[in-house]
Chain A
Amino acid sequence: MAVYLVRRLMQALLVVLAMSMIVFVGVYAIGDPVEILISPDADQLERERAIRALGLDLPLWQQYLVFLTNALQGDLGRSFVFNEPALKLILQRMPATLELAFGAMFLSILIGLPLGLYAGLRPNSPASKTIMAGSILGFSLPTFWVGLMLIMVFAVQLGWLPSTGRGETCSVLGFIGLQPCNAGLQWSWLTGDGLAHMVMPAVNLALFKISLVIRLTRAGVRETMLMDYVKFARAKGLSASRVTFVHVFKNILIPVVTVVGLELGSTIAFSVVTESVFAWPGMGKLIIDSINVLDRPVIVAYLMIIVLMFITINLVVDLTYSLLDPRVRLESKGT
């Protein structure tokens, strides 16, 4: 187990290094931030001073080395626009995105698993067919359109839910009463107002994932129900619920965990659309703004953090496998 973890971490380091190089070269190729950042009225002297201050006068490989040296010391560069450490900018917005992504994931499992289970156990009932038809809608309706519709119905016409922003926030320690609410990382789900603000974006983000979980679960149930071991479990005289919730359920969890894990990563990384529609001040909005003004350090830092997150999630998914499936042995070679 320890050997396995060390090997995985070494691989992760290599991935991060390779990724940093690709990202750096890629961002360099997009365009020159000087044109956007420096006022067109500035004279030659001012321009050169600014370029030197931003470190843009060095050749690319030197810029990369400087970046790498700083990165190893935990400094991913300063934002050209905000003149603040890029890492700090991103981490400030991370709780907003994280709680949205986890909220959506939670909803998709809470709603998707039971519906998928039902549709798999009674594939021919009208309710199952309705569920499956609904899941196709969930797949195919564009996120931004659903978001706008949600706002129109629940915020504008019914006036039940707020349409923009995070609402009131609080830190975890503040929530328990150890410090004032406004110190530390801010979370919306800890306050009633924040939760009300979270509902619509989370549902919007979850819709696709609910459909995904429904279809995965249903396919898994349909496949597992035909297995000899399910028939054998029934031949042992077990109750139907024991067969379903122990024998079938444990087997379908493996594909569901895989996909939900990967989806979690991409939700955190790419919830841009939903964040824009609901003006949710998360990382997605920050990265879009940064790309628009070619704020290189923020883009690079963001992508590095996303890479690290994917690596972590993949590792957690793999570790979960070994809990779910005894045939998976982590000590064995490779990933």
Chain B
Amino acid sequence: MAAPTLEVRNLRTHFFTRAGVVKAVDDVSFTVERGKVLGLVGESGSGKTVTGFSIIGLVDPPGRIVGGQILFQGRDLATATEAEMRGLRGNRIAMIFQDPMMTLNPVLRIDTQMIETVLAHKKVSHEEARQRARDTLGMVGIPSPDERLKSYPHQFSGGMRQRVAIAIALLHEPDLIVADEPTTALDVTIQGQILAEVQKLAQTTGTSLIWITHDLSVVAGLADDIAVMYAGRVVEHGAVSDVLDRPLHPYTAGLIGSVPSRNKRGEPLRQIPGMTPSLLSLPPGCAFRSRCPRAAEACLAEPEIRETLPGRQVRCFRPMTEAAEQAA
């Protein structure tokens, strides 16, 4: 098998604030194979977005990567220079942001914003760059791309803007796209369309995807693998069907239980009690301990992530299934 597109090993990204060190990403590892989709799932503040920015090299001060490796096609991005990163960004690794209303510059025309991206990485004429921009807009399903190129972002709807952002990400047929909740701000119908198109594109071009989201239903339909993050760490990692059908970590189980459609009508909605702990003052031991229905003495120690079954990892002393307990 060919080398994976991306291999993140023990990544640590910390923010050095006045109040203390915020360990936004603390020992995160996962692998994304070529043409596969990894769903990176977690609540707000679990470190999934910072993980995405770490990969693309856009962690702003006071934050910085303090440890670990980000192997992209064998090259370690954690130690790459800014010039190297600039050459990769938008070219081999692209990113799509959460809020399509905010990602396009309001005072620049769409063609300006697309052509500059083409020209940043390819020595082609302005006309060729425009051609490429137009073709890509057509590819993401924007009607009459020639006219649309001359528009400004405010003349587009939210869904259309996200399509433009996706088109910008696809301009150089990247090997990896980091998508940070790109459909969260959109209508459900638009979300469905965009998911279907992204899936099709990933399959046809061999592009790998990291899909950051808090919405398990999106991941269920889209991802091949899933990594669940909690308080800056991956607590569970495995194939999407395995994780969603037989969650090992109580937090994953809680997340799945919180999806409203799984509740019976009239029943109160299920939720995970408590709040995400402040990353500034994480208690020792398992970070999920205080909210966990299965917490015990053992959880006062720090759990390591371990492989319970082939391709299946969990960071818990008391995982959910009998089989796992025996294996442990």
Taking Cβ atoms with an 8 Å cutoff, the residues of A that contact B are 227-229, 231-239, 242, 246-247, 250-251, 324-327
Contact = CB atoms under 8 A, between A and B. Distances in A.
B103 interface: yes
Given A235-B56, A237-B117, A238-B116, A326 B90 contact: no
A229 B106 CA distance: 8
Given A232-B103, A324-B107, 5 more contacts: A227-B102, A228-B98, A237-B88, A238-B117, A325-B107
Nearest to A227: B102
Contacts of A228: 97-99, 102-103
Interface in B75-98: 86-91, 94-95, 97-98
Interface string B94-132: 110111001111111100010011001100000000000
Secondary structure class of chain A's binding surface, majority of residues: helix
* Interface bin, chain B: 20 to 34
A251 B154 contact: no
Which among A227, A228, A236, A324 has the greatest number of chain B C-beta atoms within 10 A? A236
A326 B152 contact: yes
Interface of B: 56, 58, 86-91, 94-95, 97-99, 102-109, 113, 116-117, 120-121, 152, 154, 165, 168
Contact of B165 (A232, A238, A246, A250): A232
A121 to B, nearest CB: 13
A238 B119 CA distance: 9
Nearest to B178: A235
A242 B89 CA distance: 15
Contacts of B120: 236-239, 242
A250 B94 CA distance: 24
A227 B101 CA distance: 11
Contact of A327 (B58, B99, B106): B106
A247 B108 contact: yes
A227 B104 CA distance: 10
A251 B107 contact: yes
Which among A232, A234, A235, A251 has the greatest number of chain B C-beta atoms within 10 A? A235
B58 A237 contact: no
Nearest to B60: A231
